Structure 1
Amino acid sequence: MTTPSRAASRIRRLSTRDVIVVTVGVALAVALDLALIWGPTLASAGLSGTDWNGVSDLRWVGGRNFAEVAAEYPPFWTAVRNNVLWLGFLGLVATPFGLFCAVLLDRRMRLSRVYQSALYLPVVLSLAVVGFIAQLIYSSDYGVLNAVTGLGVDWLGDPSINIWAVLAAAGWRHVGYVMIIYLAGLKAVDPALKEAAAIDGANEAQAFFRVIFPTLRPVNVIVLVITVIEALRAFDIVYAINKGRNGLELLSVLVTENIVGEAGRIGFGSAIAVVLLVISTGFIVIYLSQLFREDR
């Protein structure tokens, strides 16, 4: 039997070199986090109460930018509606379909590795690349969809339908992302639970919804947060298609247009960024509270 003194003596002590390496590594990570994340965040929060174009002197205007965003800036509410549609589509269509694909692949069906790779392939593409692919499919001049169907629909130019066309392209990528997360969660489910449900006479649907799905609660929380973040930070795909205009306005696009675009309204754009930050922070707090609760 190993005595406490012997066990303690076997614990490797950090040398001076190890301490220096760890300190430098942590310091660099913290410095990058402060410079690239918290620095711009705090700067946006401070600039949201100013009237500044990047050249003139800073002029404090308080909450006027927020009042103007809500009452005198029509693209804001269009962008809010589109972000809500984005969230609804990803949460109610793409995410359940990704779960469905994960359940099928978890059954070790034939060629499951091939199907898994095919579904996950879009995830390795950026949304900007997905936007270019969407142009090749939906373009009214050279698009594959019109060439095959002969409909002649302006999928990307018609504000009443282009948001749905783009959501289908974004959902294509989101399905693979959700599928791989749920597949990992399903692989971790104790097979004894499935056997117990089968012994009790539950069919496959009852066993999944009453036994397996409740055990995926931590995975569900992660997927929910990822879905919300994906819906709020969506930018690349609409900007690649038409710079987020003509029916494809999003909050992230409005922030970019006002801060670095021709408008040059850094204070006004920062106010929109703060609104987006507050919405995102709410879901992140829910996720962290759930994570800490599971740890306890």
Structure 2
Amino acid sequence: MTDKTVHEEPKSPAPRGRARRKRATALAGGDKLVLGLMLGIPTLFHVLLVWLPSLGSVALSFSSWDGIGGFEDIKWVGVQNYVDIFTHYPRFWPALQHNLIWLVFLLVVPTTAGLFLAVLLDRKLRFGAVYQSALYLPMVLSLALVGFIWQLIYQPEQGLLNNLLGTADSDPTNWLGDPKINIYAVLVAAAWRHTGYIMLLYLAGLKSVDPALKEAAALDGANSFQTFTKVTFPVLKPVNIVVLVVTVIEALRAFDIVYVINKGRNGLELLSVLVTDNIIGESSRIGWGSALAVILLLISLGFIITYLYQVFSKENRA
């Protein structure tokens, strides 16, 4: 028999390459579908549950409606609700003042204390994790529960504070009943809860600072304070923006703690309490409550937009 050598032509890799491209295209299409669902579903819920009610509240702020009946019962009054609130609503100006006091206090006291504690914990203290957990623990509690806890501390005769001051039996201070001081007593309770959160934000920012920057400052002869003020703190600018936004929102949405104590009255009036009283309270003035909510929104946006404009304009000039 004669052996015949058969020379076979090599198969073209084109079909295999096309198959790979098809699989890659299918995978890319699946990834796009998953990404679209992950972005689309939360966006849809956000629009339905946040943006539409917000826009509806803005629209209702120009109406007079008691919440009973359909939309055909809504009477449009233009800006009359805003005029009445600014001129004929005696609870508005004290509530606005208390909200501004709340905002300034949270921006100064808990922010400074949180930054100080974060700097201490960043130095890798012994039992630092224990301290960090203990300081952050109040943030886990709701403001309503914080209000209950500090009511026990502020009780005139049996409270912890008056007993420590030695005035529980002789001349007890009514910390929550005196309208001249109760707003500051409640602010201490709110700051106790807020400090741990600010500490955690700054601690995360300090962990991200490049150690080489500190080493270079030390080689140039800078001490610890100079290194922090000239090197570390400017690097924390993104954290400062987050802290400002969080603090403004926390200050203007404060509601639970004062409502638990005395339903936001007798010196503890806040805009959020007025919104609740007008929308779901006995008066049921949806238009007034919506107008108050819009005012609250504009105040918060005013602080945030002004700060962001200053920050980014300085960066552009630099």
TM-score (norm 1): 0.89
With over 3 angstroms needed to count, the CA separation of the structure-2 counterparts of 1:147 and 1:12, relative to structure 1, is: farther
Asked whether the equivalents of residues 222 and 287 of structure 1 are also in contact (C-alpha less than 8 Å), the reply is no
Instruction: Count residues in correspondence.
Output: 289
Are 1:45 and 2:58 an aligned pair? yes
2:54 aligned counterpart, secondary structure: helix
Alignment of 1:260-271 (within 5 A): 260-271=280-291
Question: Which amino acid letter does the alignment assign opposite residue 276 of structure 2?
Answer: T
Partner in structure 2 of residue 72 of structure 1: 88
- Structure 2 match to 1:88: 104
Q: What corresponds to 2:242 in structure 1?
A: 222
Question: Deviation of residue 44 (structure 1)?
Answer: 0.7
**Structure 1 range deviating more: 21-30 or 119-128:** 21-30
- Aligned CA distance change for structure 1 residues 61 and 149 (closer, same or farther; 3 Å): same
Alignment partner of 2:129 out of 97, 113, 124:
113
Identity %: 59
Equivalents in 1 of 2:66, 2:183: separation in Å? 31
- Letter matched to residue 277 of structure 1: L
Task: Give how far 1:13 is off.
Answer: 3.9
Cα offset, 1:103, TM superposition:
0.3
Picking from 201, 206, 213, the partner of 2:233 is 213
Pick the aligned partner of 2:262 from 231, 237, 242: 242
Deviation at 1:143, TM superposition (A): 2.0
TM superposition shift of 1:273 = 0.5
| 1:32 matches 2:45 | yes
Structure 1: how far apart are the matches of 2:229 and 2:30? 53
Which residue of structure 1 lines up, in the alignment, with residue 213 of structure 2? 193
Measured in 1, the distance between the counterparts of 2:242 and 2:37 equals 31
Q: 2: distance between equivalents of 1:195 and 1:17? A: 48
Deviation at 1:17, TM superposition (A): 6.4
Moved more, 135-144 or 93-102: 135-144
Deviating more after overlay: 68-77 vs 93-102 = 68-77
Q: CA deviation at 1:283?
A: 4.2
The answer for unaligned runs of 5 or more in structure 1 is none
Using a 3 Å threshold, how does the CA distance of structure 1 residues 142 and 266 change in structure 2: closer, same or farther?
Answer: farther
Residue 16 to residue 203, structure 1, CA distance change in 2 (3 Å): closer
Shift of residue 280, structure 1, vs aligned partner: 2.2
In 2, distance between residues paired with 1:188 and 1:17?
35
Q: Which moved more, 1:143-152 or 1:250-259?
A: 143-152
Question: What displacement does 1:248 show?
Answer: 0.6
- The 1:287–1:33 alpha-carbon spacing in structure 2 relative to 1, beyond 3 Å, is farther
> Could you say which structure has the larger radius of gyration?
2
How far apart are residue 88 of structure 1 and its match?
0.8
Q: Secondary structure at the match of 1:14?
A: helix
Measure how far apart 1:217 and its partner are: 0.8
* Counterpart Cα distance in 1 of 2:25 and 2:243: 39
Residue 263 of structure 1: SS of its match in structure 2? coil
